[in-house]
A and B are shown apart, each in its own frame.
Chain A
């Protein structure tokens, strides 16, 4: 089954304690992305990757890091989480070849609370 998986689904942590949210896709997609969803603000892109070892900042990258060592995995790293990073996080992937429509496939989400 084609899917994007994220772990953990729920996480409560304290300010400053480093954490990693994992993301994996089994569709051999080149493009992977992280978003955060906040009420009234919609989905905002944090980081994206066009392929292995190629990453770039999205609209709200401050306080986050990513890596893309393998095509299927794209972990999101919060080195020193702060309360304003409390949010719902989504990983997504899609193909970038062909004519489109370039459908994005989303993971189930990770709800992060930083106290």
Chain B
């Protein structure tokens, strides 16, 4: 199947910006997602971007999509301690109704 790759760990200071990167492989993906997993909980959809968009902004979150390089990023502005979590990118391959998740990036916010 397709591989979705992320770095495993990111550490930032409170108030700084965080950028979490993801590389996907299926060029036919229709939607790309960012899910957040807080400690001891299931995943929750944080934001998503449709494949015909380059950028999506939602309050402190900015998603950038580079289809040529199959690269997706999530920027969190003014990172807070409550943003500490594992962030998963995922791609939806419309033809197969399949969603493939990445390995997850653990974000640690240092006060």
Contact = CB atoms under 8 A, between A and B. Distances in A.
Interface of A: 4, 31, 35, 40-45, 50, 59, 90, 92, 96, 100-104, 106-109
A90 B90 CA distance: 15
B8 A35 contact: no
Contacts of B101: 35, 42-44
A40 B103 contact: yes
A102 B1 contact: no
Chain B interface: which size bin? 20 to 34
A100 B30 contact: yes
B88 A43 contact: yes
A106 B42 contact: yes
A1 B26 CA distance: 35
Interface of B: 1, 4, 6, 8, 30-31, 33, 35, 40-45, 48, 50, 88, 92, 97-104
Closest 5 CB pairs of A and B: A106-B42, A42-B103, A43-B101, A106-B43, A103-B45
A107 B97 contact: no
Contacts of B30: 100
A96 B93 CA distance: 12
Contacts of B31: 100-102
A90 B92 contact: no
Contacts of B48: 101, 103
B102 to A, nearest CB: 6
Contacts of A107: 42
A73 B42 CA distance: 18
Given A43-B104, A101-B48, A59 B42 contact: no
